[in-house]
Each structure stands twice: as C-alpha cells, then as structure tokens.
Amino acid sequence: MDERLDTTACYRHPDRATRLRCSECGRPICVECSHDAAVGQKCPECARPEGRHRVVDARRAMAAPSFATAPVTFTIISVAVALFVLGFLSPSIDAELVNRFASANWLIADGEWWRVLTAAFLHAGLAHIFFNMYALYIFGPRLESQVGSTPFALLYAASAAGGGAASYFFGATQQVAVGASGAIFGLFGAWMYVAYRTRHTPGGRAMFNQLGVLLLINLALPLIIRNIDWRAHVGGLLAGITIAALWAQFAVGKPDAVRIRSMIAGSVFVVLMGAIIFL
C-alpha cells in the first residue's frame, strides 16, 4: 500500500486525522487547510499569494457558479443559447447562421478558417445544445475560477481549434459540423489531467475514476448515435490535455502564473490555427 494513503495528522491541526497531502510539498493537510490549485490541493504556505497570484479556497470553489466568478463561461453559454433560440424562432435565420458560420471542410480549405471557431457557438437541436451547455456549466466555472478567465478563454478557443483541426484534416471534404463538443472535450481533458496528477489522494482518485467512466461513455457514443463528429472530440481532448500538462510544468507556483497560462494556451491556439490556415 502507498504510505501516502495512511491516515495521519494535519501538520497545522495535530488533533485532526487526514489522508490529504499538499500536492507541492507533501505535508498532510486537513480539509480546512486545503486550497484548490490548478493541479491538486495545496497547504496554506504553498498556496500563499505571490504578486497577482490568486488562491481559491476549497469551500468557496464548491459554491454555485455565477457570472461574477466565471464571466467567460457564462458569456459563452449566453451567446450559444441566444443563437440557438434565434434560429429556433426563425428557420431562415437558422439557415443563414449555418451557411455563414458552420464548419464546412471545403470552405475552410478555400480560406474561411474562422468556421472552425464560429461553429462552436451553433447547435443542431435542443438535446445537442442542452448537453453541451450543461457540460460547460459543470466543467467550466470551477476551472475558470482556478486558472483565470483569460487562460480559460484561450484554453476553450484552443480546444475548439483542436477539435476543428482534427475534423478538418481527418474528416470528409463535404463534411459540415456544428457544436461546442471539441471545446468542451478540451475542458474535459484538462480536468482529466488534473485528476491523473492527484490520483494518489482520495479526492483525486475518485475524480479520475468518475471522469474515466464519462470519457469512455462519450468516446463510445459515436458507435451508437449517428452524425457525432468523434474526430472533434478527440482533437479537443488532446488539446486540453496538452495545455493542462504544460500549465502544470511551467505555471504552477509561479508569481505570474496567469500570464504564463495565457501564453501557453495562446501559443497552442496559434499553432493549431496556423496548421488549419497554411497546411
């Protein structure tokens, strides 16, 4: 058995038994001393603010998300829902939105590269937008509050680009696609990486197992339901995992972590869009 799972006492509260440990220094911590970080939980000393770095308390992170704590997430949801309602009320507007902004591979090849991004705001049917926006509501706000709104927005855009790139390079020439699935799978991938890194803790292990089951279910859906663009799912997932891994390597614990995360996610976005535009 891994000795890190043995029950011990919190280093700040010797009377409190715990199995949690700081993901940075390894000291045992109780729930009260635990602070959520971009990767795992940290003790108060390792989570102490430096410069513009912001600590997110574990208890506040579980509060109901709102526009104040996750403005990018709720803006994306609002725009996507507004476009869906507009198209639902007016079939002619819906057709125009699809014609101008859906991801159409032959048009992307002709230079309309922006379609890989605008397609993420369009959805085909009530069930489609409900499940995508519900997933964004579940995975988005907490991640945004932990890493910062700008890095989160760039992660979302890079994941949409990753999904669009996979669909463009490996899909049929005449393929037309809409939906935020690629971007949302990027958020899913980021959380999967966090769960993998913290799998030695009870909370991290539980999250990793739960996300693993959800991942298998979602990857299997294209085998059951027609017209699901599994390429976009895989592309977005890989983009999210890549960005989260680079964040963990270069940004965690740095006083300018938000800027570093923004630069990393922005660079991945530029590389993916550059591949679509120039290759």
Q: Which positions are catalytic?
A: 181, 233
- 3-class SS string, the chain: CCHHHCCEECCCCCCCEECCECCCCCCECCCCCCEECCCCEECCCCCCCCCCCCCEEHHHHCCCCCCCCCHHHHHHHHHHHHHHHHHHHCHHHHHHHHHHHCEEHHHHHCCCCCHHHHHHHCCCCHHHHHHHHHHHHHHHHHHHHHHCHHHHHHHHHHHHHHHHHHHHHHCCCCCEECCCHHHHHHHHHHHHHHHHHCCCCHHHHHHHHHHHHHHHHHHHHHHHCCCCCHHHHHHHHHHHHHHHHHHHHHCCCCCCHHHHHHHHHHHHHHHHHHHHHHC
